[in-house]
Amino acid sequence: MHYRTLGDTGVEVSEVGFGAWVVGTDWWGDRSEEQAIEMVRHAVDQGITFFDTGDVYGHGASEEIIGEALADRREEVTIGTKVGYDFYNNPQAGHGELPKEVTPEWIETALDRSLDRLDTDYVDLLQLHNANVDEVDRDVREKLDELVESGRVDSIGWALGPSIGWLAEGEAAVEQGFDAVQTVFNLFEQGPGTHFLDAVEREGADTSVLARVPHSSGLLNEQVTPDTELGEGDHRSHRPQEWYETGWDKLEAIRFLEKDGERTMAQAAIRWLLYHDAVASVTPTFRTTDDIDAWAAASDVAPLSDDEYERVQELHAENFGVARDDGMDSYRSSVGGRDVEQAGLQPSAGD
């Protein structure tokens, strides 16, 4: 495993991180608390040190599992969590979005509750969870700075949901000097991540990108095919069948990234993200310890060559030679779509 730092903070993260929403919900398969704890500890044994959770994942359950699993290894790991949803006073309705709460008072209260569940007195990274751009005002920024000064937070980030609103938010995160911006970013769904990488370069910013859904919800690791029957509770079941069918066609165009015995397609998808220096960590959705073994190893397999990367980009510009519609017709935006339209971006499947 290799390691990178978040911006200029000195906070170190493993190139392959652990997206801990999977251990706090049953949206990507059900598992016992004991199995979840075993997965987290196994990840540390494989060199993974960055654990990305959120207070809303399982309404605190993910944080509690992370806290218990890492209690005796706290100084070896980097923990990031997210705040910004009021799940304390509102019931969860399926996979629907809960009411947001992004005020200085709420952020501090939510952080304190998260610290209790994580059984720690600080987090390495505190992220605003899907906060809209107009919610992050001067008072919120001052509160975040105050939390850093207090020692309870080492760095700050903004975690974005492309299916909720993201472009204006990500640009604001870069312009305002957030240490990290987290987004869906993968070889098939390049829009948000590439846009933020360009913004970081344009602004000369120290903001790092954290990439989630690196396998495009099961396509790039070949765990989902057009024939896969997704369970009713599976978070991916909201995507149309056309999306999977076109994605599988696209996959055939990039088979050249596989190297027999040296690099799998799933590892190549992670290596494509790590080709970008500003991508600090990639957080796959691990379902089993076998997934952890295979994908943690991506940090050590052969990186993409410049020629391989450029070939991927040429294919992406041509939609990988697939002419059919994928059933995803628009980005959502917190500012009425003006930012997306002005940027000339293409549709994304989102989370």
CA distance 251 to 320: 8
Residue 21 carries which DSSP code? G
CA distance 196 to 185: 10
Residue 50, φ and ψ in degrees, nearest 5? -100, 120
| CB within 8 Å of 150: residues ≥ 6 apart | none
User: What tokens does 71 get?
Assistant: 């209690």
Which whole-number Å values give the CA distances from 323 to 7, 128, 243, 311, 350, in the listed order?
Answer: 39, 38, 12, 19, 20
Q: Could you list the active site residues?
A: 57
CA distance 346 to 170: 17
Residues of the chain by 3-state class (helix, strand, coil), percent to 5: 45, 15, 40
Count helices and strands (H / E) in the chain: 11, 10
Strands of the sheet with 78-83, listed across from one edge? 18-19, 50-52, 78-83, 125-129, 156-159, 180-184, 208-212, 279-283
User: What tokens does 173 get?
Assistant: 């995160």
